[in-house]
Amino acid sequence: MTLKITPGSFLRWVVAALALALLQGCATGPNANPADPLEPFNRTVFNFNDGVDRAVIKPAATVYQDVTPALVRTGVTNFFENISDAWSMVNNALQFKPEASGESFFRFAVNSFWGLGGVLDVASEMKIPKHREDFGRTLGYWGVASGPYLVLPLLGPSTVRDSVGSLVDTQGNLVNRVPDVPVRNSLISLRAVDIRASFLSAGDFLEQASLDKYSFERDIYLQRHRSRTGAAAAPTEERYDLPEAVPGTGEPAAPTPTAQ
């Protein structure tokens, strides 16, 4: 059984989320996190996503991890990463990064032709660096502000700018160009399960820890977002519901961020 997901339905989901977020933007109190003025809406979507994850996505990812050999899972991940290199090439070009764009092109070409359609990551063996880019970062390159934190239905953490960028990313994703609808939906479902399987241990940590899962996920996402965009770190705030360090990284847990 596969999820019936199409580029058009994805766009409708995102547009609806953005519209609801704007409508509920005034529903925050005086103590709201400056980076998360849409928190009431975001928490509602987070709870919905969490319910879908518990009922459908996590069980599917667990079975996938248990029954699929590691070598096959690596090949699946490589296949989708190779597809992403094609879109990264475009976004690097839009950001006037000719070297990164050229290397993304060669990664895609090498892995597509010599890596069995991207199942084997030959380009990494050849030391061709990966330059992951998306249209949200392209918008940032051209001066569009990130905007507040926003949780999207099914897709999870984002910002207003990156949510808009996702609309374009969806159209640029080669998987969404597959003309056969059942095949396309199967690929989209496989990608979602493969990504979720890679985060099973992190999800178990959140389940076991005594945390506000929503705040923890938001703060980690925004910390990573600032790191990727090169934004200055936000002022720290005392938080007693977060661990002193992010497990496995040695980095301090993300403070409550401020708006960029």
Give the whole-number percent of the chain exceeding pLDDT 90: 65
Q: What is the pLDDT of residue 13?
A: 55
Q: HSE (CB half, 13 Å, CA atoms) of 13? A: 18
Q: What is the pLDDT of residue 2?
A: 43
Q: What is the pLDDT of residue 3?
A: 44
Q: What is the pLDDT of residue 92?
A: 98
Contacts for 64 with CB less than 8 Å, ≥ 6 apart: 73, 193, 194, 197
Whether the predicted pLDDT of 1 surpasses 70: no
Whether the predicted pLDDT of 10 surpasses 60: no
Q: What is the pLDDT of residue 73?
A: 97
State the chain's mean pLDDT as an integer.
Answer: 82
Q: What is the pTM of this model?
A: 0.76
Q: How far is CA 58 from CA 55, 68, 220, 248, 252, in A?
A: 7, 15, 20, 22, 28
Q: What is the pLDDT of residue 225?
A: 86
The residue ranges of every structural domain in the chain are: 7-229
Per-residue pLDDT band for 239 (boundaries 50, 70, 90) equals very low
Q: What is the pLDDT of residue 98?
A: 97
Q: Which has more pLDDT, 161 or 14?
A: 161
Q: What is the pLDDT of residue 211?
A: 72
Q: What is the pLDDT of residue 172?
A: 94
Q: What is the pLDDT of residue 69?
A: 97
Average pLDDT over residues 89-99: 98
Max Cα distance, the chain (Å): 57
Q: What is the pLDDT of residue 244?
A: 43
- What does the alpha-carbon distance between residue 166 and residue 243 come to, in Å, rounded to a whole number? 31
Contacts for 250 with CB less than 8 Å, ≥ 6 apart: none
Q: Which has more pLDDT, 230 or 46?
A: 46
Residue-wise pLDDT for 176-202, tens only, equals 999 999 999 999 999 999 999 998 877
